[in-house]
Structure 1
Amino acid sequence: MPITTLTSVLRHFHTAQDRLTLALSAAALVVSTLILPAAYRDYKLFISYGPGGVPNNALGWVLVRALFQPFGREMFSTDEYVRRIEAAEGHGKGNDGFLSLSEEQLGSRRGEERPVVGPHVVPQRQLTQVPDEAIMEKFRTAFSAFGHRNQHLVKFQKSNLERHANGLFVADYIPVYGIAETMKREVAHIHSGNDHSVHVVLAPADCIKVIEAGWGQRHAFSGAPAMTFLSLGTRPNIPAEYVLIYAPRTEAEIEMVMQIVSAGVEFMTGREDVR
């Protein structure tokens, strides 16, 4: 529209009511052409994650974006773990940790581009570098076999956090303290309905190893006061040691991810007889 024509049109909006009508019309145009399409794309991405700890529907999406998102933290710094090691918190073997992978094995992902992880704080899912169905099945089989092989230490139970997948929990007869008690014994779970990434609780030194080597990252709520606040005090906060391990893409990576899970079991049980 020519400037002269636009100016002549605007002259007609000389009352407050006219100007308000114009402003509302302009706002509606912006919402309909820019905001609504972007919001719809964001909603569809959220739905694509599949079942998780929040409802996989419009209500869940609104809750995550409106209430949960502000509590998210950055997910790659390891400074917090250094402080925990220096303060001798927990039973994490100091700078050593429990992870038995060699530097060469750990370094196999170093320098690679990390998978893209979805922008929503929950559920935490990776969007790229997702394994094929054959690897997914082999990973589930390896995870199940590990649990049954270590029934003296762990048991399978519905995940407290995911709610739609079984997780590994510290066996009932083993006393738990600190982080294991906070996590209500949950050690690890696979996101078996989607990308096959893993959440696992690791010793601070092992968190440093896997994050710096490119094998994973923290959960956005790890170490944040989110859960207690959002649940009105009915659920504990997620500890900083709760990390996301990227989905294995090959049989060799399945073995390495299972070594990471094994380290989590040692940390949470305080036992070394993991098979």
Structure 2
Amino acid sequence: MGNLTFSYAHLVAITILVPTIRHLYLDYQSFIALGPGGTPKTIMGYCKVKTLGMFALRDPYAAPKVPWSMTQKEGCLSTLPQREGPRPSTLGIAPHRQVNQIPPQRMYEKLAEAIHTITVDNASLHEGTSCFEKHGTGLFTVTPQRRTCGGEICHAHPSDGSLHLTLHPADAKIMLEGGWGERHPLARGGWLERFVPGGFVMIYAPRNDDELKVVLEIVRAAAWYVAGEDIKSEHDKRRDSGQAEDLSW
């Protein structure tokens, strides 16, 4: 009888453990497949992400509230056009990536070039290795007015063309309502701000030039919020130098 009980106990354990181990293995492989990010691709890194996942936002599309302590209640965006089609699917926390609706590589190259141009046109901004991602290029301010990782304003992901950036809550609301992105799973404020700011969001990869213009408008809103100043565009630069086109009739 004792041997029979022992056998049943082992059978139950195997029945539970085998599917669990398989699930963990596949989930770990999915974590690795998301590519490089701010978390090491190790068992410890995976365990850290899974632990943080217990505190993730339930609804990343719900707009954040403007904190009562925030003196600047309004953002700099007044409106954004509606993004066409359904939202793309996303996965992960660190890394946090877009997994479909991936545009051609040339769109990422245009985005990266446009971000570089912003640094050329604004002396207080510069490019560097992303502080959040620990790889890839980020946009930074030398005079941050908001607490982010090293004054980082945004960074773009070469693998999917999406971005992460920090927005004023009012601007995040407009962006979310337009369908241009979602809140980072850990962007709920409080003690989680040791990992990402409360206004940290993902902006979906632009699929064409028209969407790129909107995304760059959102990038400038992030720069306004983090750097505390209006960010000049290429058109502003031409206008200030007297080279802008005369559109009067």
Q: Which amino acid aligns with 2:77?
A: L
Q: Within 2, Cα distance between the matches of 1:274 and 1:53?
A: 30
Does residue 99 of the first structure (1) align with residue 77 of the second (2)?
A: yes
Q: Within 2, Cα distance between the matches of 1:108 and 1:196?
A: 16
**Where does residue 77 of structure 1 map in the other structure?**
62
Report the Cα offset of residue 71 of structure 1: 2.2
Q: Which amino acid aligns with 2:83?
A: S
Report the Cα offset of residue 253 of structure 1: 1.1
**Where does residue 141 of structure 1 map in the other structure?**
113
Does residue 116 of the first structure (1) align with residue 89 of the second (2)?
A: yes
- For the residue of structure 2 that corresponds to 1:156, the secondary structure is strand
- For the residue of structure 2 that corresponds to 1:71, the secondary structure is coil
Aligned with residue 131 of structure 1, among 98, 103, 111: 103
Q: Which amino acid aligns with 1:156?
A: E
8 Å Cα contact 2:153-2:226 kept in structure 1 = yes
| Coordinate RMSD, CA, aligned | 2.2
Write out per-residue CA displacement over residues 69-96 of structure 1, whole angstroms, 9 at most, x where no aligned residue.
2121221221x32x43xx26153xx34x
**Where does residue 52 of structure 2 map in the other structure?**
68
Q: Within 2, Cα distance between the matches of 1:182 and 1:161?
A: 9
Gaps of 5+ in 1: 1-13, 229-235
Report the Cα offset of residue 226 of structure 1: 5.2
8 Å Cα contact 1:73-1:220 kept in structure 2 = yes
**Where does residue 24 of structure 1 map in the other structure?**
10
**Where does residue 127 of structure 2 map in the other structure?**
156
Write out per-residue CA displacement over residues 196-218 of structure 1, whole angstroms, 9 at most, x where no aligned residue.
21111111111001112111111
TM-score, length of structure 1 as denominator length:
0.76
Deviates more, 1:245-254 or 1:39-48: 39-48
Pick the structure with greater CA Rg.
Answer: 1
Write out per-residue CA displacement over residues 158-204 of structure 1, whole angstroms, 9 at most, x where no aligned residue.
22210012211112xx3x44xx2354311111122x21211111111
Q: Within 1, Cα distance between the matches of 2:185 and 2:7?
A: 42
Q: Within 2, Cα distance between the matches of 1:58 and 1:189?
A: 26
Q: Which amino acid aligns with 1:184?
A: G
Aligned with residue 35 of structure 1, among 20, 29, 39: 20
Equivalent residue pairs, number: 232
Does residue 259 of the first structure (1) align with residue 217 of the second (2)?
A: yes
**Where does residue 162 of structure 2 map in the other structure?**
197
1:189-268 to 2 correspondence within 5 Å?
A: 189-192=155-158, 194-225=159-190, 227=192, 236-268=194-226
Aligned with residue 89 of structure 1, among 36, 47, 70: 70
Gaps of 5+ in 2: 234-249
Q: Which amino acid aligns with 1:265?
A: A
Identity of aligned residues (%): 28
- For the residue of structure 1 that corresponds to 2:98, the secondary structure is coil
Q: Within 2, Cα distance between the matches of 1:133 and 1:273?
A: 26
8 Å Cα contact 1:147-1:155 kept in structure 2 = yes
TM-score, length of structure 2 as denominator length:
0.83
Report the Cα offset of residue 134 of structure 1: 1.9
Name the CA shift for 1:182/1:137 in 2 (closer, same or farther; >3 Å).
closer
Q: Which amino acid aligns with 1:122?
A: A
- For the residue of structure 1 that corresponds to 2:86, the secondary structure is coil
8 Å Cα contact 1:187-1:268 kept in structure 2 = yes
Report the Cα offset of residue 225 of structure 1: 4.2
**Where does residue 139 of structure 2 map in the other structure?**
168
Q: Which amino acid aligns with 1:68?
A: L
8 Å Cα contact 1:224-1:237 kept in structure 2 = no
Name the CA shift for 1:207/1:245 in 2 (closer, same or farther; >3 Å).
same
